[in-house]
Amino acid sequence: MKSLVILISGRGSNMEALFAAVGRGELPVRVAAVISNRPDAKGLETAAAQGVPTAVVDHKAHAGREDFDAALAECIDGYAPDLVVLAGFMRILTEGFVRRYEGRLLNIHPSLLPAFPGLHTHRRALEEGVRIHGCTVHFVTPALDHGPVVVQAAVPVLDGDDEAALAARVLAQEHVVYPLAVRWFAEGRLSLVDGRVRVAAERPQPAPLISP
C-alpha cells in the first residue's frame, strides 16, 4: 500500500475528501502524516481526529523560502511517503524542493489550467465571461500552476453566478477528481514520463466463476 503526506495551510477540504475516500475503501493508501505551515490550520484538528500524525513547519520561523523548504523536506522525508499531496497549501515552493519530489508531488488548482493560474481564479473567470470553468489536478513543476495535467473537471458558469456560488460548484468537483488521481497513483497507473502524464488503462476484472 502506498503512503502519502498531505500538506495544508487551512481547513483542508480536499484533505477531508481524501480521508473520506480512504474510509469508503475507494483509495488504497495510508496517510502517513498531515503537515501544515500554519500552526492554527483547522485541518490539523481534523487529521488528529482521524488518528493521522500531524506536524507543523512554520514558515514564519525561517529566514527565507530556501530555509523553509529545507525544513519542510526534512519533515516530509521523516515519514518516507510515496506521494506528496498539496491540499490548499499556500506556499510557493522552490525549484530545489520541487525537483526533490519530481513525479510524486501533486497539486489541485481551481481552474482549467492553463487558464487562470495563481489566485482569485473564480473572480477572474467571471470577469472574463467564460462559460466553462473547473479544476485541474497536476504534477507540480517549478513553473507555478503549469505542471503536466493529470485530470480535469469542468462545470458550467451559470447566469447569476457570483464568486461564492461558482467556487462551491468547482469545489464539489475537486473532491471527486483529487481522490481519483491519487488512486491512479496508488494503483501504479499514473506516472510522469519525459514530462508527460501517462495513465495506464484499468485492469479488466476477471469473469465471475459460474457453477453448474
Q: Which residues are catalytic?
A: 109
Round to whole Å and give the CA distance between 181 and 109. Answer: 13
- Calculate helix-pair angle for 121-128, 163-186, nearest 10 degrees: 120
Q: Are 136 and 42 in contact (CB under 8 A)?
A: no
- Side by side, the strands of the sheet bearing 132-139 are 54-56, 29-36, 2-8, 83-86, 105-109, 132-139, 149-156
Q: Are 59 and 35 in contact (CB under 8 A)?
A: no
The C-alpha R_g of the chain, in whole angstroms, comes to 18
Q: Are 92 and 64 in contact (CB under 8 A)?
A: no
